[in-house]
Structure 1
């Protein structure tokens, strides 16, 4: 059992005022048997009205709008969470992929989570599953072997991928971060026919030194009839334990992104995410990540250049009038 105080700050900044910012957040820690939410508070720029509902997967989702012009938006989520995973590893389970067919046939949501992406490098996935004889070993063994393969053959490297990076790209350069490795593991497991879902959350290892500490983290849960959803973290090649705090689940990152939205106006935006984790022994860990965003279109860039030119022109005219 472990208790963590987590502060997650998302900061958007714009070089020009924007308006009608429309946002969706999944920053509400799960409250379930192995995870108790003791406190949770959200602080958002301008204190907008927040509407909370449940999505298809049971995640709490918050929606809010900021209508007035602004050049900065900060979302701060403060939580105190107690985690208690009694089992460090799953029980012995001989369930094979073919044993899942009946459950998948009776549960459309499980069936949906079995469909892999259509990718160019699918032969690499198929080849490894054939190598480990996935058709004849247990579901748990498949997950273990695939997680170990990613851990040993992919390099944890920050700053070379973003939320738009595809599974194909990750398979080629074999570098990335936790969300990339989670997507690759999902491709393996779903190709094998195992219902699997993406998990968004945090990893809080204190002195253990796992990769991904002090930032939003991602791992995978897969389904077995006898034990339900089991979590495995390919970034660190471990089963989820007291160090993992769950926020939301979905088919992929897009379905459980902590923050996403849109706005009206022409502006360049920057995004930074900081996570601070406080441990019971008083230790504090904090990290700030500057997130790579999708490149703006040529049309938006032209509009921004025009605005910049008009501003410079106005400044020169003002200076001439003052002389």
Structure 2
């Protein structure tokens, strides 16, 4: 039985003063892979500003364009549907070695090495990944507002509080230190008012999903994947440059509704 999921992702940037020549780049279009297929979609930007579709080096969809005229609001509304097929495990052609190395947000620090050495890890890669996922879920607390997008995995180890980005960065770090390729994933899930982050680990030749924020290994949950990369910096959903002062407020709303077929 397949599962069809309808989604809506809307965000608004309100600028304190008018800006112009606003070049934008959005990662918000779901991927099609061995787990999910993008069925249909439509995007509206301000008063139907034109945009173009391309892909980055990780295969993530990029929607980009430029607003020449002065404006104080930038609104993007994406609606569409995704079909899910079977359990969350699939193969792709990406070089997994890319996801074995530390990054700025997933450093192989003395703190991370010491932490992973305190754990009695099983030999099986799948059991190891499950244990690390549960360990983070049970020993760290979700708390909004205590971190920024520039916080690395060490920040969560130090304060024991964070958000889904922090939980994912720590799991990625510990998996890579255990010689398991792991990548950061951004997307949408049920019950979320904003986007969510989780982890894919390459185990027995298949990418499998782990959500340390909620302590689950993904199987048939409708987690809509938008982008993946080495860490959050490769998966930023919204980037832009413009002429004008940069003070701005961001409002995001995500809705996901599933329908059995």
Q: Structures share a fold, TM > 0.5?
A: yes
* 2:107/2:153 contact within 8 Å kept: no
**Deviation at residue 43 of structure 1 after TM alignment:** 0.7
**5+ unaligned residues in a row in structure 2: which ranges?**
none
Give 1:270 deviation, angstroms.
0.6
Cα contact 2:11–2:77 (8 A) shared by 1: yes
> Which secondary structure does the structure 1 equivalent of 2:33 belong to?
coil
Runs of 4+, deviation exceeding 3 Å = 117-121, 131-134
Aligned to 1:270: 249
The corresponding residue for 1:64 is 65
In the alignment, is the contact (CA less than 8 A) between 1:7 and 1:79 conserved in 2? yes
The answer to which structure has the higher strand fraction is 2
**Contact 1:110–1:195 (Cα < 8 Å) also in 2:** yes
Deviation track 1:224-282 (CA, whole Å, cap 9, x = no partner) reads 3x33211111111111233211111111111111111121112421111111222438x
Q: 1:200 aligned to 2:186?
A: yes
Task: List aligned pairs for 1:151-230, cutoff 5 A.
Answer: 151-204=137-190, 213-224=192-203, 226-230=204-208
What whole-Å deviation, never above 9, does each CA across 1:106-141 have from its counterpart, x for those lacking one?
x9942221112467883332233323355x712212
8 Å Cα contact 1:27-1:247 kept in structure 2 = yes
CA-CA distance at 1:177 after TM superposition: 1.3
Higher helix share: 1
Q: CA deviation at 1:170?
A: 1.9
> Structure 1, residues 269-308: CA drift from partner, whole Å, max 9, x if none?
1111111222438xxxxxxxxxxxxxxxxxxxxxxxxxxx
Pair 1:235-2:222 in alignment: no
C-alpha distance in structure 2 between counterparts of 1:238 and 1:70, whole Å: 43
Q: Distance in 2 between matches of 1:177 and 1:127?
A: 22
Change over 3 Å in CA distance of 1:204–1:269 after alignment to 2: same
CA-CA distance at 1:153 after TM superposition: 1.0
Structure 1 residues 239 and 108: CA distance shift in structure 2, 3 A: closer
The yes-or-no answer on 1:126 pairing with 2:113 is: yes
Q: Find the aligned partners of 2:158 and 2:196 in 1 and give their Cα distance.
A: 22
Distance 1:248 1:186 in 2: 15
Does residue 82 (structure 1) correspond to residue 89 (structure 2)? The answer is no
- For 1:260 and 1:185, the matched residues in 2 are separated by 26
Look up the match of 1:32.
33
Counterpart in the other structure of 2:56? 55
**What per-residue deviation string (whole Å, max 9, x for no partner) do you get for residues 190-216 of structure 1?**
1222211101111126xxxxxxx3321
- Mapped pair 1:140 → 2:126: yes
CA distance in 1, matches of 2:114, 2:247: 43
